[in-house]
Amino acid sequence: MKHILKIMALLVAVAGIWISLLETSVVPRSYTWLLPVYLVVSLGCYGLLMVGVGLMLFPTCPQEASLLQKDIIEAKEFLKSKGVDVGAV
Amino acid sequence: MAKLEEIETEEHGETTMSIKMRRKKKKYSIIIPTYNERLNIALVIYLVFKHLQDFEFEVIIVDDGSPDGTQDVIKQLQNVYGEDRVLLRARPKKLGLGTAYYHGIKHASGDFIIIMDADLSHHPKYLPSFIRKQMETGASIVTGTRYVRNGGVHGWNLIRKLTSRGANVLAQTLLWPGVSDLTGSFRLYERKAFEDIISSVVSKGYVFQMEMIVRASRKGYHIEEVPITFVDRVYGSSKLGGSEILEYLEGLVYLLITT
């Protein structure tokens, strides 16, 4: 099944639940009307939260940059001795 | 009847032999597309040979007609490491990333295909961990991820990090791909899996990487991840343009509809 269909099926299911809530009025209607708004807002909050958390915990590796510099020097020395052109770019 | 038996034993003999051969030693073909990477490619190849001493491998460089003399450097490297280990398979002009792998694999003789960037942002020291992970799990694909413990990125500013996180959350929410780093391009593929997936991929540029892994996931391939670090390029200029975000969103919608 195409992925978009899965997502649409999910949306239809959610809409179905919402309509049945409206029809059966288990919850007062005025509340039920607002549920989709809450859903959208909470989705947005979830997204922002995930981006925020991801940004705070973003893994960085400054030590790798200095290790790489060492490797570059080592590589250049070896390659130069073998006659490979590793001069300025 | 006798003839049939003969053929059967012959086939049987051949399969057991090829199984034995495969058990003995797997070969890895590392495909590296280049464009104006004369210094970086030399350093990368030195590091590949340093870190893969215990393995059988070949490096296939697909150069898109770099005007900076990348191919001359590769010829010098062939003198050092041998023309059978360092293969230059050039193309006349810039033809894009996706087709570069397609071109590279035609010349590959390995059981596994490894793809990586030439700009030193992918360090060859991680190659053994890809191979080990594949051996341990029997996975068809091992993909490097920057977004887990022991992984990481260096040299990105806040905006770049923000964009990357935003793009990732969006893709995870919409596509449910089952891997944490969609646009990473440091990966190991079983040769058959690579050929199968690439035949149904149409995207170009870096959306290509995303489409490869999403299609692989949908096709039910066993995908494993290993942490890698990503150090932003030291030499040369980045080839990503300003329309990066738009291209990404287009790719996302395309994958939503077609996979």
Tens of pLDDT along B161-170? 998 899 999 9
Residue A42: inside a domain, yes or no? yes
Q: Name the phi and psi angles at B148, rounded to 5.
A: -130, 175
Domains parsed from chain B with CATH numbers: 25-258 (3.90.550.10)
Residue B15 is predicted with a pLDDT of 53
H-type alpha helices, B82-190: 97-106, 127-137, 158-175
Dihedral sign computed on CA atoms, order B162, B164, B233, B236: negative
CB contact under 8 A, A58 and B166: no
Structure tokens given for A43: 């989705």
Q: Is the pLDDT confidence value at B206 over 60?
A: yes
| Residue A88 in domain | no
The closest CB to that of B153, out of A3, A61, A69, belongs to: A61
pLDDT tens string A59-78: 999 999 999 999 999 999 99
For residue B239, pLDDT over 70 is answered with no
Question: Domain for residue A72, yes or no?
Answer: yes
> Which residues from chain A sit within 8 angstroms of residue B229, using beta carbons?
61, 64
Q: Residue B11 region, left (φ>0) first, then alpha (ψ -120 to 50), else beta? A: alpha
Find the domain containing A55 and state its range: 2-81
Nearest-CA distance A74 → chain B (Å)? 9
For residue B239 the two structure tokens come to 């080839």
Nearest chain A residue (CA) to B148 = A59
Our count of domains for chain A comes to 1
Q: Residue B77: is its pLDDT beyond 80?
A: yes
Contact A61 B80 (CB under 8 A): no
Is the CB of residue B221 less than 8 Å away from at least one CB of chain A? no
Name the residue facing B154 among A60, A79, A85 (closest C-beta).
A60
Do the chains contact at B165 and A59, CB–CB below 8 Å?
Answer: no
Question: CB distance from B171 to chain A under 8 Å?
Answer: no
Amino acid B37: pLDDT: 92
Instruction: Assess if residue A17 is contained within a domain.
Output: yes
B246 in A contact zone (CB under 8 Å): no
Percent of all residues in chain B with a pLDDT value above 90, rounded to a whole number: 70
Instruction: Compute the distance between CA of residue A52 and CA of residue A75 in angstroms, rounded to an integer.
Output: 39
Task: Summarize pLDDT for B90-148 with one digit per residue, the tens.
Answer: 999 888 788 899 999 999 999 999 999 999 999 999 999 999 999 999 999 999 999 88
Query: In the prediction, which pLDDT does B4 show?
Result: 47
> Could you tell me if residue A50 is inside a domain?
yes
**Is A68 within the bounds of a domain?**
yes
Kind and range of the H or E element at A85?
A: none
- Given this model, what pLDDT does residue B224 score? 97
A55 within a domain of the structure (yes/no): yes
A87 domain-assigned: no
What is the complex's ipTM, to 2 decimals?
A: 0.82
Does the beta-carbon distance from A82 to B80 stay under 8 Å?
Answer: yes
- Please state, in angstroms and as integers, the Cα–Cα distance from residue A19 to each residue in A29, B45, B58, following that order: 11, 62, 61
Looking at beta carbons, which residues of chain B come within 8 Å of A59? Answer: 146-153
B23 confidence band (pLDDT: 50, 70, 90)? low
Minimal Cβ distance to B39: which of A4, A47, A86: A86
B240 pLDDT above the threshold of 70? no
Mean pLDDT rounded to a whole number for chain B: 88
- Residue B177 CB contacts under 8 Å (≥ 6 apart), including other chains: B171, B213, B214, B217
Looking at the complex, report in whole angstroms how far the Cα of residue B231 sits from the nearest Cα belonging to chain A.
6
Do residue B231 and residue A50 have CB atoms under 8 angstroms apart? Answer: no
